[in-house]
Chains A and B, each alone.
Chain A
Amino acid sequence: MSRIIIDRRRFLTGAGIVASTIPLVGCDALDGMLSNGATVRETMAKANDLTYRVQRFLIGADSLAKEFSESEIRQGQRPNGSTDPTDATYVALRDGAFADYRLEIGGLVDRPLSLSLDELRNMPSRTQITRHDCVEGWSCIAKWTGVPLAAVLDEARVKPEARYVVFRCFDTMNLGLSGEAAYYESIDMLDARHPQTILAYGLNGGPLPIANGAPLRLRVERQLGYKMAKYLRSIELASDLAAYGQGKGGLWEDLGYDWYAGI
């Protein structure tokens, strides 16, 4: 026969021990250890390098993000972040329907380029219906049309020492006391030459709307939305990201987000 083991006093003692640890959860002691630049946080952030390496190892260089059918476009593409840049150059270009827009391609290339929208539209094009995954957690399916970045890079003849493609943008973000900072982003050469990586000028069959990054935005379908810079001003090929912004490879990265956003 078994005995009834529980006794009330012992139960209450145990319950008291557990209950006394609960306020620890609410304690803000962790906050300091996790602020930008703190050792604990920087150590934990190394897990992103591991994720980057493992995904690069597991996922084929040219394996495609899932593409969808027309019937799965059930809504407009949800705009996020900047939706109407106020930069003076941008406003002037916008008011001229982007007729004077030029995309500059420079840095580590043999042949720097300056391409108009018409020139970009006359290059090979790719249309893809893909799911946009925002870092916040939501997803939205839309049809994107643009020129493969690889075609533009081939035209500019990238030097062998180039390791990153850096995108400079017209939109800025208000950082409070630190003032304004221009949006920029960067990807590695493998993602840059991926077949689905395009400079998009079309959305859902029409021209790219202002709110979604007109006249030109990046699509990097195997990463999260914040990598897909909008309002592209210029593209630079670089061997190192230290010279840009705070050196983390993007405006959001400078604010603490991971450079590799494949997860």
Chain B
Amino acid sequence: MATAIDKQHDGADRQTIRRHGIATRITHWTWAIALFFLLLSGLQIFNAHPSLYIGEQSGFAFDNSVLSIRAVRGADGEVQGVTTAFGRRMDTTGFLGVSGPEDSRAYRAFPGWLTVPSYQDLATGRVVHFFFAWLFAATVLSWLVASLINGHLRRDILPTFSDISGLPRSFAEHLRFRFHHGRSYNGLQKISYAVVLLIFFPLMILTGLTMSPGMNAGAPWLTEIFGGRQTARTIHFVVMLLLVGFFAIHIFMVLAAGPINEIRSMVTGRYRIDQEATEGGPER
């Protein structure tokens, strides 16, 4: 918004601007908390039946499995953690299937340090998951409304034509760790945020609802668009992996671009910009 009149000097000749509005900051941190618990309780729920399938149902007398994580006793009597993805078997002992110290092995898909609660407890996993699912969905809705009103969506998230045509350059600069610190996000940032906020988040909510037998009666089109309840469960899992991947890159980028300045811009809203960015007049 009115960045030009809002500039302040912090230190010798460094200027800060108001970068993130209050709605952007509150929703950001609410999502951070909600997604943390959704991930750990989601892995708890997954552990109750650690297999993923394609279609409406789970194949017990036929094979439509795309992923399974099991503890299997080998010929030598030793129990191994075996992860099977698209028919390929991998030994994942120590992390998936079988985990924990040698003398007190836990035979579960995801290890205790990745689940809430740490022990096997589907009921509690569901209580935690659905509580934070409501919080998450309410935050997505609030963010959407606020971002339409305060212009965050149009100004910062939706990529413009020049953002897209400038992608190769933006990508190359990221690879060389060259970051512009201006008011606006760069093209790669805009596209990442647009994909996460406008595709992954709604997809997570919709595939979650598709697993609900109540919604199955109320909105039968849900299982139709996702190709069945079990496919929806698989998509829910895959988007979870993509969000974890986004999180890893997001944190790496915050560290690489200057963690103090980046975190401050998401806490107080103030962001220190490069001098060059201020010299050519207002950013927009």
Q: Once the chains are docked, how many angstroms separate the CA of A78 from the CA of B56?
A: 15
Q: Once the chains are docked, how many angstroms separate the CA of A92 from the CA of B114?
A: 47
Which of B40, B181, B257 touches A25 (beta carbons < 8 Å)?
Answer: B40
Given contacts A5-B257, A257-B126, contact A74 B215 (CB under 8 A): no
Which of B127, B215, B217, B260 touches A258 (beta carbons < 8 Å)?
Answer: B127
- Nearest-neighbour CB distance to chain B for A38, whole angstroms, equals 10
Contact flags A161-192 to B (C-beta < 8 A → 1, else 0): 00000000000000000000000000000000
Q: How many residues of A contact B (CB 8 A)?
A: 63
Contact flags B208-220 to A (C-beta < 8 A → 1, else 0): 0001111111101
Q: How many residues of B contact A (CB 8 A)?
A: 61
In the complex, chain B residues whose CB is within 8 Å of the CB of A136: 48-49, 122
* B155 close to A (CB within 8 Å): no
Which of A3, A134, A139 touches B56 (beta carbons < 8 Å)?
Answer: A139
* A6 close to B (CB within 8 Å): yes
Chain B binder among A64-72, A101-109, A111-119, A151-159: A64-72
* B251 close to A (CB within 8 Å): yes
Q: Which of B190-228 contact A (CB under 8 A)?
A: 211-218, 220, 223
* A17 close to B (CB within 8 Å): yes
In the complex, chain A residues whose CB is within 8 Å of the CB of B40: 25
A50 with B134: CB separation less than 8 A = yes
Which of B46, B61, B124, B211 touches A41 (beta carbons < 8 Å)?
Answer: B124
B116 with A263: CB separation less than 8 A = no
- Nearest-neighbour CB distance to chain B for A49, whole angstroms, equals 11
A14 with B60: CB separation less than 8 A = no
Q: Once the chains are docked, how many angstroms separate the CA of A60 from the CA of B215?
A: 11
Contact flags A189-224 to B (C-beta < 8 A → 1, else 0): 000000000000000000000000000000001111
* B241 close to A (CB within 8 Å): no
* B76 close to A (CB within 8 Å): no
A59 nearest in chain B by CB position: B218
Given contacts A30-B116, A51-B130, A256-B127, contact A59 B214 (CB under 8 A): yes
* B177 close to A (CB within 8 Å): yes
A74 nearest in chain B by CB position: B62
* A242 close to B (CB within 8 Å): no
B220 nearest in chain A by CB position: A66
Q: Which of B139-188 contact A (CB under 8 A)?
A: 173, 176-181
B274 with A3: CB separation less than 8 A = yes
A140 nearest in chain B by CB position: B57
* A141 close to B (CB within 8 Å): yes
Q: Once the chains are docked, how many angstroms separate the CA of A75 from the CA of B51?
A: 17
A74 with B59: CB separation less than 8 A = yes
A28 with B118: CB separation less than 8 A = yes
Q: Which of B115-133 contact A (CB under 8 A)?
A: 116-119, 121-124, 126-128, 130-131, 133
B56 with A41: CB separation less than 8 A = no
- Nearest-neighbour CB distance to chain A for B55, whole angstroms, equals 9
Q: Which of B42-96 contact A (CB under 8 A)?
A: 45-46, 48-49, 51, 56-62
B51 with A138: CB separation less than 8 A = yes
* A88 close to B (CB within 8 Å): no
In the complex, chain A residues whose CB is within 8 Å of the CB of B242: none
B216 with A139: CB separation less than 8 A = no
* A2 close to B (CB within 8 Å): yes
A252 nearest in chain B by CB position: B123
Which of B56, B112, B121, B179 touches A131 (beta carbons < 8 Å)?
Answer: B56
In the complex, chain B residues whose CB is within 8 Å of the CB of A10: 258-260
A137 nearest in chain B by CB position: B49
| 17 A-B pairs (CB sep. < 8 Å) | A4-B176, A10-B258, A17-B259, A44-B127, A44-B131, A47-B130, A48-B127, A59-B217, A66-B223, A68-B56, A74-B62, A78-B60, A134-B49, A139-B57, A258-B126, A262-B213, A262-B214
A residues with CB within 8 A of B = 1-6, 10-11, 13-15, 17-18, 25-26, 28, 30-31, 34-35, 41, 44-45, 47-48, 50-51, 55, 58-60, 63-66, 68, 72, 74-76, 78, 131, 133-141, 221-224, 252, 255-258, 261-263
B residues with CB within 8 A of A = 40, 45-46, 48-49, 51, 56-62, 112-114, 116-119, 121-124, 126-128, 130-131, 133-134, 173, 176-181, 211-218, 220, 223, 229-230, 233, 251, 254-260, 274, 276
Q: A30-B117, A44-B131, A66-B217 are in contact. List 15 more A-B contacts (CB 8 A).
A: A4-B178, A5-B179, A11-B255, A25-B40, A28-B117, A30-B116, A30-B118, A34-B128, A41-B124, A47-B134, A48-B130, A137-B46, A139-B229, A256-B121, A258-B130
